[in-house]
Amino acid sequence: MENRRENFRHEFDEAKAIPAEFELFGQGKTLAGRIISLSATGAGIQAVQDQFPMASHDRISLRFRLPKEEFHFQLRAIIRYAQKNEGGWFYGVQFLPSENSTEDAERDRRIWRFLMEMQRRSQRPANPAS
């Protein structure tokens, strides 16, 4: 099957998933989740509790921090995919631009830097046996 994505997407091992909080606009209730995949334009989020389901085209506020980063991301996203699974709900989200293009550029730069490092590490050959 061909990968239709335009951007590199990093899939996290279960133990290395990124903790995240998200909130459906207008609900005022913060939910917990884990980012299990990340690209420059979106993320895959596994909700860690069984909450009210969100649907495609719902808008959320998403907060997370990348490993080894002090910067906390807070951004808007739209749900493009929602599916109930054993762990609760899985959501595929697309990041949305904010009102501040300078902040968006900084967000993009930080995510790209992280993704490039993850891609570099994934392509590094294993150490040969001595």
Here the CATH number for the domain that contains residue 119 is: 2.40.10.220
* pLDDT (0 to 100) of residue 129: 53
Number of domains the chain is built from: 1
Asked whether the predicted pLDDT for residue 130 surpasses 50, the reply is: no
Could you tell me if residue 57 is inside a domain?
yes
Arithmetic mean of pLDDT, 37-41: 92
Q: Indicate whether this model's pTM tops 0.85.
A: no
Could you tell me if residue 90 is inside a domain?
yes
* pLDDT (0 to 100) of residue 1: 38
Could you tell me if residue 5 is inside a domain?
no
Q: In which domain, by residue range, is 106 found?
A: 10-123
Which range, of 21-30, 69-78, 108-117, averages the lowest pLDDT?
A: 21-30
* pLDDT (0 to 100) of residue 3: 46
* pLDDT (0 to 100) of residue 86: 83
Could you tell me if residue 1 is inside a domain?
no
Asked whether the predicted pLDDT for residue 127 surpasses 70, the reply is: no
Which range, of 2-6, 31-35, 57-61, 87-91, averages the lowest pLDDT?
A: 2-6
Contact, 22 vs 33, CB < 8 A? yes
* pLDDT (0 to 100) of residue 37: 95
Is 92 exposed, middle or buried (CB count within 10 Å of its CB: 0-12, 13-18, 19+)?
Answer: middle
* pLDDT (0 to 100) of residue 119: 82
Could you tell me if residue 130 is inside a domain?
no
Dihedral sign for Cα 8, 14, 15, 19, please.
positive
Could you tell me if residue 39 is inside a domain?
yes
Could you tell me if residue 4 is inside a domain?
no
Retrieve residue 69's tokens: 């980063």
Could you tell me if residue 76 is inside a domain?
yes
* pLDDT (0 to 100) of residue 128: 54
Residue type for 126, please? A
Which of the four pLDDT bands, split at 50, 70 and 90, describes residue 6?
Answer: low
